[in-house]
Structure 1
Amino acid sequence: MPPTPLTQLPTREEAARWTADQVVELAGAHLAQQRQFEVIKGECEAMRHQLDWFRRQLFGAKSEKRLVDANPHQMSLGELPVPESSPPPPGQDIAAHTRRARTSDCAKGDASALFFDEARVPVETIEVPNPEAEGLAPDQFEVIGEKVSHRLAQRPGSYVILKYVRPVIKRLDTQAISCPAAPGGVIRGSRADVSFVAGLITDKFCYHQPLYRQHQRLGDNGIRVSRPWLTQLTHGALALLEPIFTAQLDSIRASRIKAMDETPIKAGRAGPGKMKGGYFWPVYGERDEICFVYRESRKAQHIEQILGTDPPPEGAVLLTDGYGAYERYAEKCGLTHAQCWAHSRRKFFDAQSVEPERAGRALEMIGKLYAVEKRIREATLVGEACRAYRIEHAQPVVHEFFAWVDAQFDTHGLLPSSPLTTAMAYVRERRAALEVYLRDPEVAIDTNHLERALRVVPMGRRNWLFCWTEVGAKYVGIAQSLIATCRLHDIDPYDYLVDVLQRVGQHPAADVAQLTPRLWKQHFAANPLRSDLFGISK
């Protein structure tokens, strides 16, 4: 019998005595071991790729920017060529001197010192006496001008108690006693002014301050209220805003171009010490509106529940990532399904640790597509001009990219488990959806605009961690939908909430869409409703 392959090489005499069957058996055993080696090699590469990914999540930068290696012949900033044999420069004696003290106070003019909005930030004026005028009579000097400087300060808290004093009168002619009713609040019977309610919601959902931290701050400022009261106040206010959220979602449904995604959230108790997993389904409309709809799972049926199954507008497009449920929904409803190039690029970015050269080549071609989009933004091209520019400059790059992908499968032996193989298979089977943006100038190349808007949910998860109930998760979605849309339209969320919380109870139900941030900016932003706090004289 021949020796075991890869363990001992035969001598010439042993090899000469082998029969043909023994040679075939040896070749087969060698081939089997080689296949086993390739499988183990592929598993090692996959495990190394996973390890690199986990290391980057824990210790590395989360950015997916591609850092191109600098030219080794290019000197860095401040680096000067110094001959190796050049002697050091001779020393030079400098006479000792005293530097003159600076006399200016950095207040050469009011304009340079104004780093705030005077119409919105209260200013306390402090008069600084001139020591040179001390002891002088008013007729012994003349004030010929003044200099102004500003310094940012902070009080321990900004809470205010509004004390309403209502006189009780008795008419002398009728002996009737009367007293005006206490001003009504946005929540019936509540001790909270609308300014406090709006601040509570803004701090929690805009600045990610959980209610327990706000409760601690209230206590530190001498205000004793219970934490359940803050929770009830938040729920009551967001329940008032739910019709506005529904109207905004209807506006998004009517958009020709919509972007959609999903992001996980813990909501509701699954048992002692355990939380149930749910999902926010953010939907972004073409009018720069976003809604975070909560559902208990990631099932495909939720897409139909959120977007509906009515016939879509002509030329309607749904822009998403590669989740197959979106494609099935688009086929069912007759939508054009476009997919995100950023998600495709991410696959190649993750493959760099295993196949740096070929993954870098793919990233380079995708980078050319984004360079085209940058030039379009800089030239402010829209409509047909944008489409023509994409066809001329981006379409050849797309064709080159997919031709390169096909060539890799035809000419290179790639392991099925290789991250690069996975990335190329991902884009090849989604080619039609990735090319939609070339023909429609209003379709974005990716869903980054949606990713930026939904960032408030991951940021919130790091602060308030979870929602105690599914109803609480729904209210989180309502608050984040209106606040994120305010940001998209350059609206101060606090001013918006103070106004609509007072207006929603008296506004006609048929015109509730006017209270969505986009239309509120047109109808009411110029003269918003204010709290009584703004009428107090300083």
Structure 2
Amino acid sequence: MDIDSLALPDDIAALKEIVRGAMSRADAAEADSAAARAAQSDTAAYVEHLKLQIEKLKRALYGPRAERTARLLDQMELKLEELETSATEDELHAEQEAAKAKTTTVAGFTRKRPSRQPFPEHLLRERVVLPGPTQCFCCGGSRLAKLGESVTETLESTPRTFKVIQHVREKFTCRDCEKISQEPAPFHTIPRAFAGPSLLAMIAYDKFGLHQPLNRQSERFGLEGVALSVSTLADLIGATCVALKPVYAFIKTMVFTGGRIHGDDTTVPVLAQGQTDIARVWVYVRDDRPFGGSGPPCAVFYYSRDRAGIHPQSHLAEYSGIFQADAYGGYNKLYVPTRSPGPIIEAACWAHGRRKFFELADIARNAKRRAQGKTPAFVAPMALAAVQRIDALFEIERGINGQLPAERLAARQQLSAPLVTELESWMRAERAKLSRHNDVAKAMDYMLNRWSAFTRFLTDGRICLTNNAAERALRTLALGRKSWLFAGSDRGGERAAMMYTLITTALCRARHNAVYAVRRTMPNGFRKMHGCRVSLGSSVAVDSVSFGIV
């Protein structure tokens, strides 16, 4: 409200009253402004929360549309995190301004703050007992009797601690023969090494699992008061690899004794003279969980300087059974019927076949391009129809995941076989109408030329529809490539392959145990509705104990 300077009274008390009123109105206006900003931030966070939930529900309902969908969800979660942080900050500021103004009440917000959950029972509890009152707060009397107690729990974290374990071996001398008797020295993971097994596992996992180079680890150890040079850490890594070779050999044996394995490879940069070369890391995964097998999930990694076919042929020289992989030409010699010690049966990946159609029918990408003002790409109707037909097969697989091979085979013969026959007839009919240079024709040829490998899942209940198990195993390496930039040498690549074998196998076992623990706590109806699809995300923690899992 404007104040007329000519109408101001000369009385000091009256002037003070006018100033107090103006200050009160200013505080109220500031409180209203803060509340509006908080409401706006709250609404933005709530809208982003709903968008994220919609995307997650669509992904759960229709299945993953593409690999980038997972990255999109990660970006949305990061954006939501920032918005929620800003909203909470604005809400607290609005409450402070409202308390200062004493006239404005902050309205309730749409977004609900996360409710406080009980802390896990396994966490160590430290009781801090505050001294009780010695007299009554009401009447001042001293005759007090304890009625109970109120406990307020606060989660606290202390920096990791180091300790030196002293193994004391007492010496005794014999009064008869004058000989000295003493217990033998305790076992050390690394002969004559000063580092214990937990420290060794932590250093190795930080380097290969969390992708922290040794120079960064050395700096952190120094800040924590423990001087460990890079050369010392490198010595420990080398000695750890030697100590773990028997475990690596055991895991490799476990993988190749499986009746069905997955295979895939990915690039890894390796340091060369004045540049970096592109080497390869190969992975072979045994995962019997989809068909209810009792074999433990495990994975073995190999390193090679190039992608020549001789490498997978040497890796699988002693293996015979079902091999699920992509259409890499280096695998072809493995499928020769007269191969020794036995034939390897090819099982193709429907996710690879579907992806070629999906790239031609990516409606979501076109919508994004249209929103950005760009020219949308052409959406092929036949590619979209192929994606929808293949998705029907994936929906059937989700319902039988985790069942025994005989049960899976029976369901496939009843439900999937007619759809596969119809899909083949439809593709061959449509393919005859297309030029060989057409992109949809190339996607069809990819599947039709390997149709026996694609339809092999209809004759064996152990075969999966996709090779996603191998691609998931490579994720640990792929996520860290930009952190460590390159392998220092071929020996470094081989060491990394061995360590990724142990880490990935430990992760598989940890997720395996966690999934079944979660499923045991779910209602029967929920288990029946969702089958084996339990999303754990990145909640599975792996530390030094993980190396004991294998």
Letter in 2 for 1:489: R
**Residue 476 (structure 2) aligned to one of 456, 459, 463:** 456
Match of 1:276 in 2: 277
Gapped regions of structure 2 (runs ≥ 5): 1-65, 74-102, 107-114, 289-294, 362-376, 514-541
Equivalence for 1:126:
128
2:186 is the counterpart of 1:162: no
Deviation at 1:134, TM superposition (A): 9.3
> Residues of 2 paired with 1:346 and 1:376: CA distance?
23
Does the 8 Å CA contact 1:372/1:393 hold for their aligned counterparts? yes
* CA 248–143 in structure 1, closer or farther in 2 if over 3 Å, else same: same
What secondary structure sits across from 1:116 in the alignment? coil
Query: Which residue is equivalent to 2:390?
Result: 366
Distance 1:181 1:247 in 2: 29
Residue 205 of structure 2: SS of its match in structure 1? helix
Q: Quote the offset at 1:186 in angstroms.
A: 1.4
Residue 441 of structure 1 deviates from its aligned partner by 0.5
Q: What is residue 331 of structure 1 aligned with on the other side?
A: 336
Instruction: Give the number of the structure whose alpha-carbon radius of gyration is greater.
Output: 1
Question: Distance in 2 between the 1:66 and 1:372 partners?
Answer: 26
The answer on whether the counterparts of 1:483 and 1:493 sit within 8 Å (CA) in structure 2 is no
Instruction: Tell me how far apart the structure 2 counterparts of residues 485 and 138 of structure 1 sit (CA, whole Å).
Output: 66
Q: How many residue pairs are counted as aligned between the two chains?
A: 392
- Which residue of structure 2 lines up, in the alignment, with residue 423 of structure 1? 443
Matched, 1:398 2:398: no
Q: Deviations over 1:53-73 (max 9, x none)?
A: xxxxxxx97128999xxxxxx
1:207-240: per-residue Cα shift (whole Å, max 9, x none)?
3333222222111111111011111101211211
Q: Is the 8 A contact 2:265 2:283 kept in 1?
A: yes
- 1:243-290 CA-to-partner distances (Å, cap 9, x unmatched) read 2211221222222211111111123x3202x12322111011243221
Identity %: 25
Q: Distance in 1 between matches of 2:67 and 2:264?
A: 24
Distance 1:420 1:133 in 2: 86
- Distance in 1, matches of 2:486 and 2:179, equals 56
- 3-state SS of paired residue (1:264): strand
Residue in 1 that maps onto 2:400:
376
Residues 1:224 and 1:388: Cα distance change in structure 2 (over 3 Å): same
Q: CA deviation at 1:299?
A: 0.9
CA distance in 1, matches of 2:168, 2:394: 63
2:69 aligned residue: 63
Q: For residues 70-108 of structure 1, what are the alpha-carbon distances to aligned partners after superposition, in whole Å with 9 as ceiling and x for unaligned?
A: xxxxxxxxxxxxxxxxxxxxxxxxxx9989xxxxxxxx9
- What is the distance in 1 between the residues matched to 2:208 and 2:243? 16
Q: Is the 8 A contact 2:169 2:182 kept in 1?
A: yes
Equivalent of 2:354 in 345, 367, 371: 345
Specify the code of the residue in structure 2 equivalent to 1:140. Answer: R
Deviations 1:106-125 (A, max 9, x none): xx9xxx8543352xx44333
d(CA) in 2 for partners of 1:281 and 1:181? 43
* TM-align CA RMSD: 3.6
In structure 1, what is the equivalent of residue 7 of structure 2?
A: none
| Cα distance in structure 2, aligned partners of 1:280 and 1:159 | 35
Question: 2:487: which partner in 1?
Answer: 467
Alignment of 1:146-295 (within 5 A): 146-163=149-166, 183-267=186-270, 269-272=271-274, 274-285=275-286, 286=288, 287=295, 288-295=297-304
Structure 1 residues without counterparts, runs of 5 or longer = 1-59, 68-95, 100-107, 500-516, 521-538
Residue in structure 1 matching 2:119, options 115, 119, 130: 115
Alpha-carbon shift at residue 439 of structure 1 (Å): 1.0
Residue 172 (structure 1) shift: 9.1
Which residue type is aligned with residue 152 of structure 1? L
3-state SS, counterpart of residue 140 of structure 1:
coil
Once residues 113 and 64 of structure 1 are traced to their aligned partners in structure 2, the CA distance between those partners, rounded to angstroms, is 27
Distance 1:138 1:426, change over 3 A: farther
- Report the 3-state secondary structure (helix = DSSP H, G, I; strand = E; otherwise coil) of the residue aligned with 1:388: helix
- Kept in 2, the 8 Å contact 1:355–1:420? The answer is no
Secondary structure of the corresponding residue to residue 291 of structure 1? strand
The letter for the 2-side match of 1:346 is: R
Amino acid at match of 2:430: Q
TM-score, normalised with respect to structure 1: 0.65
Give secondary structure in 2 for the equivalent of 1:225: coil
Contact 1:211–1:230, Cα closer than 8 Å, also in 2: yes
Q: Which moved more, 1:457-466 or 1:339-348?
A: 457-466
Higher relative contact order (Cα pairs below 8 Å, separated by 6+ residues): 1
1:476 counterpart (496, 511, 516): 496
Partner secondary structure for residue 440 of structure 2 = helix
1:146 Cα deviation from its structure 2 partner? 2.3
What is the distance in 2 between the residues matched to 1:143 and 1:494?
Answer: 45
Against the structure 1 CA distance between its residues 493 and 307, is the aligned structure 2 distance closer, same or farther, given a 3 Å change threshold? farther
Question: Aligned partners of 1:249 and 1:347: how far apart in 2?
Answer: 33
- The amino acid across from 1:436 in the alignment is R
| 1:180 Cα deviation after fit | 7.0
Deviation sequence 1:401-427 (CA, Å, 0-9, x none): 22222122223x4460x4322211111
Equivalent residue letter for 2:119: F
AA partner of residue 407 (structure 1): A
Distance 1:361 1:133, change over 3 A: farther
- 2: CA distance, partners of 1:438 / 1:138: 84
1:340-369 deviations in whole A, cap 9, x for unaligned? 000111111112243342221111011000
C-alpha distance 149-483 of structure 1, shift in aligned 2 (>3 A): farther
User: 1:386-409 CA distances to partner (integer Å, 9 max, x unpaired)?
Assistant: 111111111111122222221222
Note the 1:31-110 alignment, pairs <5 A.
62-63=68-69
Q: CA deviation at 1:242?
A: 1.0
Q: Supply the distance in 2 between the matched residues of 1:440 and 1:284 (Cα, whole angstroms).
A: 18
User: Does residue 317 of the first structure (1) align with residue 322 of the second (2)?
Assistant: yes
Shift of 1:199: 1.4
Matches of 2:209 and 2:153, distance apart in 1: 28
1:185 to partner: Cα distance: 2.6
Q: 1:98 to 1:338 in 2, by over 3 A?
A: closer
In structure 2, distance between residues paired with 1:277 and 1:415: 32
Alpha-carbon offset, residue 178 of structure 1: 8.4
Whole-angstrom distance in 2 between the partners of 1:98 and 1:144: 37
Matched-pair contact (CA < 8 Å) for 1:64–1:349: no
Report the Cα distance in structure 2 between the residues aligned to 1:65 and 1:397, rounded to whole angstroms: 31
Q: How big is the shift at 1:370?
A: 0.3
- For 1:430 and 1:208, the matched residues in 2 are separated by 39
Code of the residue aligned with 1:317 in structure 2: it is I
Query: d(CA) in 2 for partners of 1:174 and 1:125?
Result: 56
Question: Greater helix percent: which structure?
Answer: 2
